[in-house]
Amino acid sequence: MTHNALVLAIELIFVYMAGMFFLSLMKKDNSIVDIAYGIGFIIVAWSTLLIFGNHTFIQLLITGLITIWGLRLSIRIYLRNKGKPEDFRYKKWREEWTWFKTRSFFQIYMLQGLIIIGISTVSIFINSSIHTRLPNTIYSTILVIIGALAWVKGFFFEAVGDYQLSTFIKHQTELKARGETPAKTVMDEGLWSMTRHPNYFGEVAMWWGLFIIALSVQGGIVTIISPLIITFLLLKVSGIPMLEAHYKGNAEYEAYQARTNALIPWFPKKK
């Protein structure tokens, strides 16, 4: 990973996230940072590829996979949030924080930008590396295949999990609109019967897949930074802990927790 590629990525993401911050002030809605998140990875991947890359197979593969992931994520969040008020997390912070604008700039937008840079280590490294020709050994070829399969599995879990959840929420909304009481309020079917967070498992699997692909390149071990950051964030910080705290005290959800793994898919425990 060249110093120049890293500096470029930092500069671009700073400008991008600062722009999103000012847009949020105009809209009075910090939820737009969730839409901007996936696009930020695409900006880093393509800018480093176009300026520093040799457009090798590995560079195009990783940049392409990140583009597919980032676009799907941003489009989904945009459609989910369209016409709705600010997300409950940001609304709560808006009510609780003093110096709200300053804290938002640094604690939401600049922090998200820093996270994007950290997780983008894999694309910054690969796209600025001079050792990214086609895999020329059986070992490197196997790594690319395993990594690509892991990414595909992760994409399946994230995309299908999101679709199943959206369908469930839509059905719940329709029942309430007709004055009917839903039989249950917790999604525990399909992929959600094997893990409480199939979308988060998918995201983790995709970034570990990209890391495995990067291992086929000399020095690729450094890109382990990417999956480690995303795994830590989803397991310990803003992913599972924050979402499940929202359901604290919900008896139905607590029963779901008791029988279903938090992240790694597995057969549900017997009641």
183-222: pLDDT as tens digits: 888 999 999 999 999 999 999 999 999 999 999 998 999 9
The identity of residue 248, as a single letter, is K
Total residues belonging to the chain: 271
Task: Examine the pLDDT at 165 and tell me if it is beyond 80.
Answer: yes
Q: What pLDDT is stored for residue 271 in this prediction?
A: 61
Model confidence at 97, in pLDDT bands (50, 70, 90)? confident
Q: What residues have CB less than 8 Å from 108, skipping those under 6 apart?
A: 21, 30, 33, 90, 93
Q: What pLDDT is stored for residue 249 in this prediction?
A: 84
Q: What pLDDT is stored for residue 93 in this prediction?
A: 77
Domain boundaries, the chain: 1-132, 135-271
The identity of residue 77, as a single letter, is I
Which stretches of the chain are DSSP H helices? 3-27, 32-52, 57-81, 88-96, 100-103, 111-119, 121-127, 138-177, 198-214, 225-232, 240-245, 251-259
Look up residue 241 and give its two tokens: 């802990």
| Mean pLDDT score of the chain | 91
